[in-house]
Amino acid sequence: MTAVAPPLFGGPVPAIEPGMVPGNPDESSLIPADMHPPVDLAEDLERFNGKLATYLKPEEITRVGAAYVFADAAHRGQLRLTGDPYISHPLAVAQNLASWHLDANALMAALLHDVMEDTAITKEQIAVRFGKVAAELVDGVSKLDRIEHQSFEEAQAENFRKMLLAMARDVRVILIKLSDRLHNMQTLDAMRPEKRRRIARETLDIYAPIANRLGLNALYRELQELAFSHAHPLRYRVLSKAVKGARGNRREVVGRIVEAIRKALPEAGIDAEVKGREKHLYGIYRKMRDKHLSFSQVLDIYGFRIVVKNRPTCYLALGALHALYQPVPGKFKDYIAIPKANGYQSLHTTLIGPFGTPVEIQIRDAHMHHVAESGVASHWLYKDESAIDQLQQKTHKWLQSLVELQSASGDSSEFLEHVKVDLFPGEVYVFSPKGKIFALPRGSTPVDLAYAVHTDIGDRCVACRINFETMPLRTELRNGDRVEIITAPNAAPNPAWLGYVKSARARSKIRHFLNTKQNEESAALGERLLSHALRDLGLALAKLPAQAWDRFKRASGARSQKAVMAEIGLGKRLPAIVARRLAEGVEVSPSAANEGRAKPAILIHGPEGVAIKLGNCCRPIPGDPIVGMIRKGQGLVVHTHDCRAIAKLRSERGNWVDVEWEPGITGLFEASIKVVAKNVRGVLARIAADIAEAGSNIVNISMDDDSGEATTLFFTLQVSDRVHLAHILRSVRRIPEVVRITRYVETKP
């Protein structure tokens, strides 16, 4: 018997004009306005229609119906790899969103989310037909397949960047995308194995953490389970079989615990709903992997969730349970007083149940339960709850931080790296001196906290006090630490901070500052180098005609004159070549050419900056004869004349630059010395004391493992110039135990 499809969403829909849908635009290829949907989708459509009728107005349902007909016509003739009509996919995505009671614009965008990507329909056409809001949502979800990228990874990074920034403008974008990814994961079996693994890995790395960050706990768990089954199919099957076997063995224990809890709570006057829950396979697998456990050692694969009427009752229930079973010390977490970043609130405790079995318990009230399961989507399901309003504010704050990350990131890959860091936060909570709580990723340092407070605090941070004690900035923070940040007006971020900061915000702000500083210093150095090269051709940079610059920028593709200077300073362009190309067609008088041959050297003004570096091999100091070399990506690197590291590079004539120390130069420079001393008690202390008396600071000390009569010591010192170093050498040489002392230079390049 032939099934009959139900009427479409209870109302007429506008017809689709020829030319709106790619392919054959004749009338026979289009769906008339009164035509029923395909019979094989009738049941899904009826279920979808029923969901919409529970919360949308009739006119909104009609608009959603029009979007369905439009999408069906656009995808006519297209099949999924499963063999189903393509329209079944956007319909499934929209059904998921209807479960969260999302509005008509979001549902229309869900139905239309692939038409821009898979057909010739444009954003403007969608805006005319279904409104600007729906068109913006579709555009935010659509990929950038029409833009050429250097690699698949770059294309993916750009897609994520666009999607996350669209999400920052409207959270419905990511809800549609997550629903899209869920249905794709549910039908992933039709893909090739290698593609299944790639998509599963992407889901675990990006989409599941985003769902978790938005508090969509049920979706988060389902994405993890599906991704685990495709990324590691054999492990998934083995673990699934083991859990099923353990389920029968532990049924008696679980039954006794449930019975005891259901008896103890009413006796304490607490009305509660008690549910047993089994840990998800991916959670068990991750615990086995991270803690190097076998399955038999993972005892807590079962847990219990207790839902009570209000917040005070949560703590009463906790007391009753702790009286029933012994709690495990250190395993209690109060996420009610201090909610997670995604708004999650519950009391967590672990008890020792019958037969010594650990039992995980979650206690929450009904409001907390709604948020824990639906997260930010609770905004549409339960609009009258103040707790959800707070969650909306937290989510909005996080989404705005994505915009800040984008502005501080150099490219899409760097932006995605920052977001990945931000999506895996730990649970470290620290206090400011005024008692304000800050949630930071696990492993965070005081530098992370400084940037969490304000960018200016982070940029000027120089020291910290943790629990009233002065500590290094790289100290790892622990729960409950009281942290005070000490700043200085002229301080600046240190590149070494990137080695230990954990938060995406801190990492992006430090990189942004360093990149800006590098560009400014590189542009200044580039201007000096180019002026130097032009003078050799008898030209002055200040008098160079504008036409010469315009011609050069068109030929080289440079964005601006400053960008060219920065690239010269970084070694990406050779100043001599740029000078010759700028000089093409520019007349030079003989007198100017003669003046240019007597060009002065580049002056080194002080210790190394971002664009000018002093070679670590020879450690030049004022007074040393020096030479400079332009190295790609490093800028100008300064060496001593006799440095062994540059011997192999003598043939690169175009890269060498004449440099000199500026007269009256000030500052501290690092120099290394080698001391051979008798192996007697106290000799190191005497040498260190003499170095300090000579006005120098010791940066580093190392020694050869010498068990003989003499020991070789290596010191890295801070000195002002060559005269200062000579004074230190004379002072140390007077110590009777010192056999020999020399300035030390690395022998390897």
**Does 477 or 23 have the greater pLDDT score?**
477
CA atoms within 13 A on the CB side of 265: 21
- Average the pLDDT over each of 157-171, 353-367, 659-673, 686-700 and give the range with the smallest value: 157-171
Q: Tell me whether residue 7 is in a domain.
A: no
539 & 629 share domain = yes
Query: Which residue is it, tokens 């937290």?
Result: 394
> Which residues are within 8 A (CB) of 217 and not within 5 positions of it... i.e. 6 or more apart?
344, 372, 373, 374, 375
Residue 152 Cα distances to 148, 174, 198, angstroms: 10, 22, 12
- Determine if the pTM surpasses 0.85: no
Name the token pair of 372.
């824990």
Decide if pLDDT at 33 tops 80: no
Asked if residues 484 and 465 have their Cβ atoms less than 8 Å apart, the reply is yes
Q: What is the pLDDT of residue 150?
A: 46
CA dist 48 and 381 (Å) reads 17
Confidence of residue 204 (pLDDT cuts 50, 70, 90): confident
Confidence of residue 627 (pLDDT cuts 50, 70, 90): confident
Q: What is the pLDDT of residue 632?
A: 64
Q: Tell me whether residue 368 is in a domain.
A: yes
What pLDDT digit, counting tens, does each position of 100-142 carry?
Answer: 888 899 999 999 988 888 888 888 999 999 999 999 888 888 7
Q: Tell me whether residue 231 is in a domain.
A: yes
**Last residue in a domain, options 608, 635, 661:** 661
Name the token pair of 280.
């998800």
**Last residue in a domain, options 482, 511, 540:** 511
CA dist 594 and 535 (Å) reads 10
What pLDDT digit, counting tens, does each position of 565-624 carry?
Answer: 877 777 777 777 788 788 776 766 555 445 544 456 677 776 666 567 788 888 899 988
What pLDDT digit, counting tens, does each position of 224-279 carry?
Answer: 999 999 999 999 999 888 887 776 666 677 778 888 888 899 998 999 988 877 77
What average pLDDT does the segment 391-400 reach? 59
- Average the pLDDT over each of 5-9, 465-469, 477-481 and give the range with the smallest value: 5-9
Q: Hey, is 260 helix, strand or coil? A: helix
**Does 82 or 407 have the greater pLDDT score?**
82
Q: Hey, is 432 helix, strand or coil? A: coil
- Average the pLDDT over each of 22-36, 120-134, 269-283, 720-734 and give the range with the smallest value: 22-36
| Strand-pair partners of 516 | none
Q: Tell me whether residue 748 is in a domain.
A: no
**Does 596 or 73 have the greater pLDDT score?**
73
What pLDDT digit, counting tens, does each position of 309-338 carry?
Answer: 999 999 999 999 998 888 888 888 888 888
**Does 613 or 426 have the greater pLDDT score?**
613
Q: What is the pLDDT of residue 732?
A: 93
570 & 527 share domain = yes
Catalytic option among 44, 84, 117, 427: 117
Decide if pLDDT at 660 tops 90: no
253 & 365 share domain = yes
295 & 332 share domain = yes
90 & 224 share domain = yes
Confidence of residue 422 (pLDDT cuts 50, 70, 90): low
Q: What is the pLDDT of residue 690?
A: 92
Q: What is the pLDDT of residue 140?
A: 80
Q: What is the pLDDT of residue 191?
A: 86
| Strand-pair partners of 307 | 273, 364
Q: What is the pLDDT of residue 387?
A: 46
Asked if residues 65 and 8 have their Cβ atoms less than 8 Å apart, the reply is yes
Confidence of residue 10 (pLDDT cuts 50, 70, 90): very low
Give the CATH number for residue 51: 1.10.3210.10
Q: Tell me whether residue 17 is in a domain.
A: no
**Does 584 or 702 have the greater pLDDT score?**
702
Decide if pLDDT at 635 tops 80: no
Decide if pLDDT at 678 tops 70: yes
351 & 412 share domain = no
Q: Hey, is 526 helix, strand or coil? A: helix
701 & 722 share domain = yes
Decide if pLDDT at 406 tops 60: no
* Residue whose C-alpha is closest to residue 129's, from 78, 38, 68: 68
Q: Active-site residue 117, yes or no?
A: yes
CA dist 341 and 345 (Å) reads 10
What average pLDDT does the segment 475-480 reach? 85
Decide if pLDDT at 29 tops 80: no
Decide if pLDDT at 64 tops 60: yes
Most confident of the following: 177-191, 426-440, 512-526, 706-720: 177-191
Asked if residues 341 and 283 have their Cβ atoms less than 8 Å apart, the reply is no
705 & 654 share domain = no
Q: Tell me whether residue 14 is in a domain.
A: no
**Last residue in a domain, options 661, 682, 702:** 661
Q: Tell me whether residue 5 is in a domain.
A: no
Confidence of residue 26 (pLDDT cuts 50, 70, 90): very low
Decide if pLDDT at 715 tops 90: yes
Q: What is the pLDDT of residue 34?
A: 40
355 & 426 share domain = no
Q: Tell me whether residue 673 is in a domain.
A: yes
86 & 187 share domain = yes
**Does 239 or 37 have the greater pLDDT score?**
239
Q: Give how many domains the chain has, as a whole number.
A: 5
Name the token pair of 96.
């998921």
What average pLDDT does the segment 217-230 reach? 91
Give the CATH number for residue 301: 3.30.460.10
What is the β-pairing status of strands 659-661 and 602-604? parallel
Q: What is the pLDDT of residue 13?
A: 39
Sheet containing strand 612-614, strands side by side:
612-614, 635-640, 626-631, 656-657
What pLDDT digit, counting tens, does each position of 507-560 carry?
Answer: 888 888 877 777 777 777 788 788 877 877 778 887 788 888 888 887 777 778
Q: What is the pLDDT of residue 207?
A: 85
258 & 331 share domain = yes
Catalytic option among 44, 84, 103, 118: 118
Query: Which residue is it, tokens 């996080």?
Result: 398
Domain of 192, in residue numbers: 27-235
- Average the pLDDT over each of 269-278, 342-351, 417-426, 448-457 and give the range with the smallest value: 417-426
Name the token pair of 539.
């030209």
**Does 164 or 664 have the greater pLDDT score?**
664
What is the 3-state composition of the chain as percent helix, strand, coil, each rounded to the nearest 5?
50, 15, 35
Q: What is the pLDDT of residue 306?
A: 92
Give the CATH number for residue 477: 3.10.20.30
The C-alpha angle with vertex 314 and arms to 312 and 316, in degrees rounded to 5, equals: 75
543 & 646 share domain = yes
> Which residues are within 8 A (CB) of 370 and not within 5 positions of it... i.e. 6 or more apart?
378, 381, 382, 385, 388
CA dist 480 and 240 (Å) reads 39
